[in-house]
Amino acid sequence: MKKLHPTQQKLLELLRKNIEDPLTIRELQEELDISSTSVVAHHINQLEKKGYLKRDPNNSSNYQILSDSPEKLITYLNLYRLAHCGPEGSILDGDPEERIPISSRIVTFPVKEAFMVKAKGDSM
């Protein structure tokens, strides 16, 4: 587990406490009594790099705190067999065909919920 800077610990607690109504960068700056918003942004980026925080790249107020332990940098996703899409589609079942290593940072939701499937059909 990567050690957090004291400011990062305070920031993580603030983010956790305000998850329902996220604070702006400026509000975080004021709460933490930090000199500039760029320092807040730096600490947020560090929390993300260390695996404690996952942000939606398209919406800065959409983030997830990844409990008290960081996510691993590489995760293995289950790859299931071919699913036929459309009116004559099939439902996934059975065991995964393979486990594919990917960077945890590219998944914008908890990686424990992720999986892969090969898809074929007209509805895609």
At 41-81, the pLDDT tens digits run 999 999 988 888 888 777 777 777 876 556 677 778 888 87
The DSSP symbol for 94 reads S
Taking CA 57 as the corner, what is the angle to CA 54 and CA 61, rounded to the nearest 5 degrees? Answer: 70
Segments forming the whole domain that contains residue 113: 74-121
* 77, two tokens: 């996703």
What does each C-alpha distance from 97 to 46, 79, 84 come to in angstroms? 35, 6, 16
Regarding whether 56 and 13 lie in a shared domain, the answer is: yes
Q: Is the pLDDT of residue 2 over 80?
A: no
The candidate with the shortest Cα–Cα distance to 28, out of 42, 14, 17, is 14
* Residue 14 resides in a domain: yes
Residue the block writes with tokens 């009116």: 87
For residue 1, pLDDT beyond 70: no
Q: Quick one: 14 and 49 in the same domain?
A: yes
Tell me the whole-structure pTM to 2 decimals.
0.57
**9: pLDDT strictly greater than 90:** yes
Residues 50 and 81 in one domain: no
**Are residues 109 and 90 both part of a single domain?**
yes
What pLDDT does residue 92 have?
A: 65
